[in-house]
């Protein structure tokens, strides 16, 4: 079983983002500026997080959707910075909840600085993001961001109630994805449409595009946990099932094989560890029942739906970039 790579020439993310590269650099600069504090630990950790890399898909999505509506002003980079702060806050909290030691090939924040500091840093980033959003004086967008953040927290809580439940349904799992990941993608796209002064129908179409893109993104992420090269992925593979999280590959596998697979998964979830023999057995069952292909097709369906949501927009370089993003999501290996 190899890393997902379903296209011969996957889209290059740098090329997709080329029209907004200068704005993305501004977002990076704003992150550094807004993370400054008299408490030296805050900018120290902020720089550590920023230097750890990241694709910046969420701020780029907001910027591209604003460009789609013809908007190129400062508010776009401010809100793009806001969503990057929100996303970063969720990462540091999620890593702590999951006890993830590695993030993007380096120590996670909580494993380096401890849980107490990580909780407070995440809280700081959330509050800082809302303070930044208020500087541009649009309560409509602040309300939208608060709603997205609330849904993300609900998604994390819902996931915690399902951790260790190997009989979680596909729909419950997709609802967790919508809340934890997809609604922020949708919010980014919708904010871009609002800044671009697009019609309400177009704003909602962009929101739906973002939600579907976000679901596809997370389903592929879940697949990589079973198929990726650990060095390329930048974190240990097999982490989800070790943590008791049943993602689509495991859910589909149990539908196909309620005997061997159930006994194997129950043991892994109970012990919170995977021996090399158990990992080989699990991967063998995934191949035997072709559940990786089935889950990938699920991601491809959401990616195709994302593209369909853009059908009402006239051809522009920005539209071309947005249409390329779902293809990138399906082809990524990290």
DSSP lists the bridge partners of residue 103 as 106
Separation of alpha carbons 2 and 116, rounded Å: 38
Q: How many Cα atoms occupy the beta-carbon half-sphere of 285 within 13 Å?
A: 22
Helix (H, G, I), strand (E, B) or coil at 70: coil
Per-residue pLDDT of the chain (334 residues; tens, 9 = 90+): 444 445 445 678 989 999 999 999 999 999 889 988 889 999 898 888 888 777 899 999 999 999 999 999 999 999 999 999 999 999 889 888 887 887 766 888 988 999 999 999 999 999 999 999 998 878 999 999 999 999 999 999 999 999 999 999 999 999 999 999 999 999 999 999 999 999 999 999 999 999 999 999 999 999 999 987 766 555 567 889 999 999 999 999 999 998 999 999 999 999 989 888 999 999 999 999 999 999 999 999 999 999 999 999 999 999 999 999 999 999 987 6
CB 245 within 8 A of CB 159: yes
DSSP 236: -
Rounded-to-10 torsion of CA 170, 146, 74, 91: -50
DSSP lists the bridge partners of residue 107 as 102
Domain 13-331 sits in CATH at 1.10.600.10
CB 295 within 8 A of CB 219: yes
User: Which residue is it, tokens 């909840």?
Assistant: 97
User: Which residue is it, tokens 């994805």?
Assistant: 177
Separation of alpha carbons 80 and 305, rounded Å: 24
Which two three-digit tokens encode residue 297? Answer: 């097709």
Among residues 179, 206, 213, which one has the least CA distance to residue 57?
A: 213
């Amino acid at each position: 079983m190899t890393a997902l790579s379903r296209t011969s020439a996957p889209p290059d993310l740098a090329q997709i983002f080329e029209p907004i590269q200068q704005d993305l650099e501004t977002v990076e600069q704003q992150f550094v500026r807004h993370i400054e504090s008299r408490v030296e630990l805050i900018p120290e950790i902020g720089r550590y997080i920023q230097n750890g890399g990241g694709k910046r898909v969420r701020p780029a999505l907001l910027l591209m959707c604003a460009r789609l509506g013809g908007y190129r002003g400062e508010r776009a980079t401010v809100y793009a910075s806001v969503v990057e702060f929100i996303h970063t806050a969720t990462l540091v909290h999620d890593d702590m909840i999951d006890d993830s030691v590695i993030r993007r090939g380096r120590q996670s924040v909580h494993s380096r600085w401890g849980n107490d500091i990580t909780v407070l840093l995440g809280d700081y980033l959330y509050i800082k993001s809302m303070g930044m959003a208020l500087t541009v004086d649009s309560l409509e967008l602040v309300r939208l961001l608060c709603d997205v953040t609330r849904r993300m927290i609900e998604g994390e809580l819902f996931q915690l109630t399902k951790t260790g439940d190997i009989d979680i349904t596909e729909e419950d799992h997709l609802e967790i994805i919508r809340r934890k990941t997809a609604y922020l993608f949708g919010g980014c796209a919708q904010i871009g449409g609002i800044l671009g002064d697009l019609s309400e129908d177009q704003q909602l179409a962009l929101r739906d595009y973002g939600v579907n893109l976000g679901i596809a993104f997370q389903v592929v992420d879940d697949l990589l946990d079973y198929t990726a090269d650990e060095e390329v992925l930048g974190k240990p593979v097999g982490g989800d099932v070790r943590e008791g999280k049943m993602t689509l590959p495991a859910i589909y596998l149990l539908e196909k094989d309620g005997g061997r697979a159930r006994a194997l998964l129950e043991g892994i979830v109970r012990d919170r560890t995977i021996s090399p023999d158990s990992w080989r057995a699990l991967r063998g069952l995934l191949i035997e029942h072709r559940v990786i292909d089935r889950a990938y097709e699920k991601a491809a369906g959401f990616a195709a739906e994302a593209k369909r949501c853009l059908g009402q927009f006239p051809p522009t370089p920005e539209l071309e970039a947005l249409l390329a993003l779902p293809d990138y999501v399906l082809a990524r290996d990290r």
